[in-house]
Amino acid sequence: MVIAIDGPSGSGKSTTARLLAQRLGLAYLDTGAMYRAIAWAYLRSGLDASDTEGIRSLAVSTDLRIATIPDQPRVSVDGEVVTDAIREPRISENVSTVAAIPEVRKFLIRKMREIIAAHGRRIVVEGRDITTVVAPDAQVRVLLVADPDARVARRRAELGERVDETAVTDQVIRRDRDDSRVTNFTEAAEGVTVIDSTHIGPDEVVEHIVQLTRR
Protein backbone atom coordinates (compact mmCIF):
# COMPACT_ATOMS: atom_id res chain seq x y z
CA MET A 1 0.00 0.00 0.00
CA VAL A 2 1.15 3.53 -0.84
CA ILE A 3 -0.23 6.31 1.34
CA ALA A 4 0.32 9.81 -0.07
CA ILE A 5 0.01 12.88 2.14
CA ASP A 6 0.16 16.49 0.94
CA GLY A 7 -0.16 19.73 2.84
CA PRO A 8 1.23 23.19 3.56
CA SER A 9 3.98 23.99 6.08
CA GLY A 10 2.98 23.25 9.66
CA SER A 11 -0.09 21.19 8.81
CA GLY A 12 1.41 18.23 10.66
CA LYS A 13 2.06 16.00 7.68
CA SER A 14 5.57 14.91 8.74
CA THR A 15 4.54 13.90 12.26
CA THR A 16 1.41 12.21 10.95
CA ALA A 17 3.29 10.31 8.24
CA ARG A 18 5.94 9.03 10.67
CA LEU A 19 3.37 7.86 13.23
CA LEU A 20 1.26 6.27 10.50
CA ALA A 21 4.23 4.39 9.04
CA GLN A 22 5.18 3.10 12.49
CA ARG A 23 1.64 1.95 13.20
CA LEU A 24 1.16 0.17 9.88
CA GLY A 25 4.70 -1.20 9.56
CA LEU A 26 5.46 0.76 6.40
CA ALA A 27 8.49 2.71 5.19
CA TYR A 28 8.41 6.51 5.42
CA LEU A 29 9.63 9.05 2.87
CA ASP A 30 9.97 12.74 3.73
CA THR A 31 10.22 14.30 0.28
CA GLY A 32 10.66 17.77 1.75
CA ALA A 33 13.95 16.60 3.26
CA MET A 34 15.15 15.77 -0.24
CA TYR A 35 14.53 19.33 -1.43
CA ARG A 36 16.16 20.64 1.74
CA ALA A 37 19.22 18.50 1.12
CA ILE A 38 19.65 19.95 -2.36
CA ALA A 39 19.15 23.44 -0.89
CA TRP A 40 21.93 22.67 1.60
CA ALA A 41 24.22 21.58 -1.25
CA TYR A 42 23.30 24.72 -3.19
CA LEU A 43 24.20 27.02 -0.30
CA ARG A 44 27.47 25.18 0.26
CA SER A 45 28.35 25.50 -3.42
CA GLY A 46 28.18 29.30 -3.50
CA LEU A 47 26.16 29.28 -6.73
CA ASP A 48 24.06 32.31 -7.52
CA ALA A 49 20.29 31.89 -7.25
CA SER A 50 19.94 32.99 -10.87
CA ASP A 51 22.21 30.18 -12.09
CA THR A 52 19.43 27.65 -12.63
CA GLU A 53 21.53 25.49 -14.93
CA GLY A 54 24.29 25.36 -12.33
CA ILE A 55 21.82 24.37 -9.62
CA ARG A 56 20.28 21.73 -11.88
CA SER A 57 23.72 20.28 -12.62
CA LEU A 58 24.55 20.31 -8.91
CA ALA A 59 21.30 18.50 -8.03
CA VAL A 60 21.71 15.66 -10.52
CA SER A 61 25.35 15.10 -9.55
CA THR A 62 24.71 15.11 -5.79
CA ASP A 63 24.85 11.76 -3.99
CA LEU A 64 21.65 12.21 -1.98
CA ARG A 65 20.66 9.43 0.37
CA ILE A 66 17.68 9.36 2.71
CA ALA A 67 16.66 6.76 5.27
CA THR A 68 13.09 5.46 5.17
CA ILE A 69 12.83 4.09 8.72
CA PRO A 70 10.18 6.21 10.49
CA ASP A 71 11.98 6.61 13.83
CA GLN A 72 15.52 6.77 12.46
CA PRO A 73 15.76 9.82 10.16
CA ARG A 74 19.03 10.18 8.29
CA VAL A 75 19.90 12.32 5.29
CA SER A 76 23.33 12.54 3.70
CA VAL A 77 24.78 14.61 0.88
CA ASP A 78 27.93 13.31 -0.81
CA GLY A 79 28.68 11.22 2.26
CA GLU A 80 28.12 14.02 4.79
CA VAL A 81 25.26 13.55 7.25
CA VAL A 82 23.02 16.63 7.12
CA THR A 83 19.95 15.37 9.01
CA ASP A 84 20.00 18.26 11.49
CA ALA A 85 21.63 20.86 9.25
CA ILE A 86 18.79 20.82 6.72
CA ARG A 87 16.34 21.93 9.43
CA GLU A 88 18.15 25.21 10.05
CA PRO A 89 16.23 28.44 9.26
CA ARG A 90 18.62 29.36 6.43
CA ILE A 91 17.61 26.18 4.60
CA SER A 92 13.92 26.96 5.01
CA GLU A 93 14.58 30.42 3.61
CA ASN A 94 16.28 29.04 0.49
CA VAL A 95 14.62 25.70 -0.27
CA SER A 96 12.06 27.29 -2.61
CA THR A 97 14.94 28.52 -4.77
CA VAL A 98 15.82 24.97 -5.78
CA ALA A 99 12.27 23.60 -5.60
CA ALA A 100 11.10 26.15 -8.18
CA ILE A 101 13.49 24.87 -10.86
CA PRO A 102 11.50 22.42 -13.07
CA GLU A 103 14.55 20.27 -13.92
CA VAL A 104 15.40 19.86 -10.24
CA ARG A 105 11.81 18.87 -9.46
CA LYS A 106 11.80 16.31 -12.29
CA PHE A 107 15.05 14.80 -11.06
CA LEU A 108 13.85 14.51 -7.45
CA ILE A 109 10.41 13.22 -8.44
CA ARG A 110 12.08 10.46 -10.43
CA LYS A 111 14.23 9.63 -7.39
CA MET A 112 11.14 9.58 -5.14
CA ARG A 113 9.40 7.12 -7.44
CA GLU A 114 12.49 4.93 -7.44
CA ILE A 115 12.43 4.85 -3.64
CA ILE A 116 8.73 3.99 -3.63
CA ALA A 117 9.33 1.14 -6.08
CA ALA A 118 12.36 -0.11 -4.12
CA HIS A 119 10.14 -0.60 -1.07
CA GLY A 120 7.64 -2.66 -2.99
CA ARG A 121 5.14 0.18 -2.79
CA ARG A 122 4.75 -0.33 0.97
CA ILE A 123 5.39 3.22 2.08
CA VAL A 124 3.96 6.45 3.45
CA VAL A 125 5.09 9.44 1.36
CA GLU A 126 4.54 13.06 2.39
CA GLY A 127 5.29 16.39 0.77
CA ARG A 128 3.79 18.99 -1.55
CA ASP A 129 2.54 17.29 -4.72
CA ILE A 130 2.57 13.64 -3.74
CA THR A 131 -1.13 12.94 -4.32
CA THR A 132 -1.15 14.51 -7.78
CA VAL A 133 2.35 14.11 -9.29
CA VAL A 134 4.62 11.73 -7.39
CA ALA A 135 2.11 9.00 -6.53
CA PRO A 136 -1.28 9.84 -8.07
CA ASP A 137 -2.15 6.14 -8.08
CA ALA A 138 -1.62 5.71 -4.32
CA GLN A 139 -4.38 3.68 -2.66
CA VAL A 140 -4.88 6.36 0.00
CA ARG A 141 -4.41 10.06 -0.80
CA VAL A 142 -4.80 12.77 1.83
CA LEU A 143 -4.54 16.55 1.86
CA LEU A 144 -3.77 17.66 5.41
CA VAL A 145 -4.64 21.30 6.13
CA ALA A 146 -4.75 23.67 9.11
CA ASP A 147 -5.37 27.36 9.59
CA PRO A 148 -2.34 29.72 9.43
CA ASP A 149 -2.23 30.48 13.17
CA ALA A 150 -2.10 26.80 14.05
CA ARG A 151 0.59 26.13 11.45
CA VAL A 152 2.79 28.99 12.68
CA ALA A 153 2.39 27.86 16.30
CA ARG A 154 3.45 24.33 15.41
CA ARG A 155 6.49 25.50 13.50
CA ARG A 156 7.51 27.73 16.43
CA ALA A 157 7.23 24.78 18.80
CA GLU A 158 9.33 22.70 16.42
CA LEU A 159 12.08 25.34 16.14
CA GLY A 160 12.07 26.28 19.82
CA GLU A 161 14.02 29.40 20.71
CA ARG A 162 15.96 29.61 17.46
CA VAL A 163 13.65 32.09 15.72
CA ASP A 164 11.02 34.61 16.76
CA GLU A 165 7.33 34.62 15.85
CA THR A 166 7.70 37.16 13.03
CA ALA A 167 10.44 35.12 11.37
CA VAL A 168 8.47 31.88 11.66
CA THR A 169 5.32 33.50 10.26
CA ASP A 170 7.29 34.82 7.30
CA GLN A 171 8.94 31.45 6.77
CA VAL A 172 5.69 29.49 6.79
CA ILE A 173 3.54 31.89 4.77
CA ARG A 174 6.25 32.91 2.29
CA ARG A 175 7.34 29.36 1.57
CA ASP A 176 3.77 28.27 0.91
CA ARG A 177 3.33 31.24 -1.42
CA ASP A 178 6.59 30.53 -3.26
CA ASP A 179 5.95 26.81 -3.61
CA SER A 180 2.35 27.35 -4.76
CA ARG A 181 3.76 28.86 -7.95
CA VAL A 182 5.01 25.45 -9.08
CA THR A 183 2.70 22.99 -7.35
CA ASN A 184 -0.84 22.89 -5.98
CA PHE A 185 -0.98 21.65 -2.40
CA THR A 186 -3.90 23.72 -1.14
CA GLU A 187 -6.74 22.17 -3.11
CA ALA A 188 -7.65 18.51 -3.14
CA ALA A 189 -7.68 16.69 -6.46
CA GLU A 190 -10.46 14.24 -7.24
CA GLY A 191 -10.29 11.24 -4.93
CA VAL A 192 -8.15 13.00 -2.30
CA THR A 193 -9.52 13.15 1.26
CA VAL A 194 -9.13 16.47 3.08
CA ILE A 195 -8.39 16.36 6.80
CA ASP A 196 -8.31 19.60 8.81
CA SER A 197 -5.85 19.24 11.70
CA THR A 198 -6.41 22.71 13.17
CA HIS A 199 -8.22 21.42 16.25
CA ILE A 200 -7.12 17.78 16.40
CA GLY A 201 -3.84 16.14 17.32
CA PRO A 202 -1.59 13.76 15.36
CA ASP A 203 -3.10 10.63 16.92
CA GLU A 204 -6.59 11.57 15.74
CA VAL A 205 -5.31 12.34 12.25
CA VAL A 206 -3.50 8.99 12.14
CA GLU A 207 -6.63 7.16 13.25
CA HIS A 208 -8.64 8.87 10.52
CA ILE A 209 -6.14 7.77 7.87
CA VAL A 210 -6.02 4.24 9.27
CA GLN A 211 -9.79 4.06 8.79
CA LEU A 212 -9.30 5.18 5.18
CA THR A 213 -6.84 2.32 4.60
CA ARG A 214 -9.36 -0.19 5.95
CA ARG A 215 -12.01 0.97 3.51
Point out the least confidently predicted range of 66-75, 106-115, 161-170: 161-170
Feature table: binding site for ATP: 7-15
Strands 2-6 and 64-66 turn out to be unpaired
Question: How would you list the strands of the sheet with 80-81, edge to edge?
Answer: 64-66, 75-77, 80-81
* Predicted TM-score of the model (pTM): 0.89
Strands 193-196 and 64-66 turn out to be unpaired
Residue 162 pLDDT > 90: no
Delimit the domains of the chain by residue range: 2-214
Please give the pLDDT value at position 18: 97
Please give the pLDDT value at position 13: 92
SS3 (DSSP) at 198: coil
Point out the least confidently predicted range of 63-67, 143-147, 151-155, 210-214: 151-155
Domain 2-214 of CATH type 1.25.40.10? no
Half-sphere exposure of 40 toward its Cβ, with a 13 Å CA cutoff?
A: 23
SS3 (DSSP) at 139: coil
What is the percent of the chain with per-residue pLDDT over 70, rounded to a whole number?
A: 88
Feature table: binding site: 7-15
- Give the integer Cα–Cα distance in Å for 37 and 76: 8
